[in-house]
A = this chain, B = another copy of it.
Amino acid sequence: MRKLKSGIYGLNPLLDGGMNENSTTVVIGRSGAGKTTFATQFIRRGLQDGQEGIFVSLDENKEQIIREAVEMGWSDILDYLEDELLVFIDASGREFSNFIRKELPSFVAEWKGSNARIAIDPLTPVMWSTKDLYEQRDLIGFMLKQTRRVGTVLCTLEDHGQYDLSSPETVIPMYLSDCVIHLRFNGEEADHIRSLKILKCRSSRHSQATHPYEIVRGFGILLQGIEPRRPASAKIPSQLRQMVLTRVLPKPVVERIERALDGLTDHDFRTLKPEQILSLIIQEYQDA
């Protein structure tokens, strides 16, 4: 699975090298957390690497997104627009819902494999275009499945929950997307500390910690205290291989372990020890 640079300073090592190509990511946050900044950095990083960009701006706020990008010091956005490397789709929630239902398949057929970056900011009005949870799930599921065939997809989502991320409007996209990033920020709190947490990332050994971040003019979102990732050791897999060689074990256990160990590193085993794994496999397959 190819990794793409996210464009968010410090985020790539936390995502096991970057975003997975053709994956879908949801970025959740309250008002002021920096969701649009995140989406713009993501799109712009692709443009710098030669990928095309599709920015779906809901709430008819194309001009505002561009103005904010320019204020942030990213006026090259205007050049990409002129060169038609960056395309804006500016729609209301209902218009975009209708587009998904009626025109998305033919759009995908045309753009398929173009390897573009797609940002949808914010997904919320699309969710609100119907009140039925089943319809919401169906619509978002279809949209995510189709758009990822075009390229790598990022949606922002407003956080309307009072205490945690358990309202249906938040949970549905969380279940359906490959990667979920929470930008924690509450303007009402005494100290305006922003922090980022990766809640889920399929096919990645992602960070499970909380990382403070800042939004700095000229740069955008920067994560604090991030160190480059060190190459992982493979000591535990080799210990397991040793055990298999030096002990008399049933054939299904031996086959199982040998097949499983290819490419694993110590990180994959988290808190488990080689003896534990060996014992669990023997137990499961001893009478097979």
Contact = CB atoms under 8 A, between A and B. Distances in A.
A59 B137 contact: yes
Question: How big is chain A's contact interface, by range?
Answer: 35 or more
A158 B171 contact: yes
Interface stretch (A77-85, A99-107, A112-120, A172-180): A172-180
Given A281-B9, A284-B12, A272 B187 contact: no
Contacts of A187: 180, 197, 199-200
Nearest to A11: B284
A171 B175 contact: no
Interface of A: 1, 5, 7, 9-10, 12-13, 31-32, 48-49, 59-61, 68, 71, 73, 92-94, 122, 124-125, 128-129, 131-134, 137-138, 141-142, 145, 158, 160-166, 168, 171, 174-176, 180, 182, 187-188, 190-192, 197, 199-200, 202-203, 208, 210, 214, 216-219, 222-226, 228, 259-262, 264, 268-272, 276-277, 280-281, 283-284, 288
